[in-house]
Amino acid sequence: MKALHYKIVITFLLLTIILGVAYYELLYKPKDTIELYQSVNFSDPQGLEELFLDDYHSSEKQELLEEIIDKNSTPWKLRQFSLFQYGDDAFIIETSPGTHKLKIIDVRKIPNESLHPFN
């Protein structure tokens, strides 16, 4: 009887740990522009490292985010964009930030020459 009780307790604890990690990954990582702004604005400079993908981290990019933190004010506007790039065409789609499902606000076709900062 005691062995069964211990197995139940251990199973419950393991399940709690696994669900806790999954909960953290799903709810505490920014999923849209507003959550990203909150993560950047309320992070210390060392906390910003967690927001970067490993391959894209650079000191220059971190300095830019630290500059955003140092502004000590809220941005005038937060906008969220997706860039769809096809052979000769590219499209910028503005989507609704902070909504459960993305809604399209605007679509613009842009020349590939304008994509240089994103490459």
DSSP string, 49-68: GGGS-GGG--HHHHHHHHHH
In a domain, 15, yes or no: no
- If one counts the domains in the chain, the total is 1
In a domain, 116, yes or no: yes
What local confidence, expressed as pLDDT, does residue 72 receive? 67
Which residues, 6+ apart, have CB-to-CB distance to 98 below 8 Å? 32, 33, 34, 35, 78
Instruction: State which residues form the domain around 113.
Output: 79-119
Distances in whole angstroms, Cα of residue 13 to Cα of each of 6, 10, 55: 11, 5, 35
What local confidence, expressed as pLDDT, does residue 96 receive? 87
In a domain, 32, yes or no: no
What local confidence, expressed as pLDDT, does residue 68 receive? 75
pLDDT at 12 over 80: yes
Per-residue pLDDT tens over the stretch 18-72: 888 877 766 667 777 888 888 777 777 677 777 777 777 677 777 777 777 776 6
Is 0.95 topped by the overall pTM?
Answer: no
Query: CA angle, 43 as apex, 26 and 100 as ends, to 5°?
Result: 35
Cross-strand pairs, 107 = 93
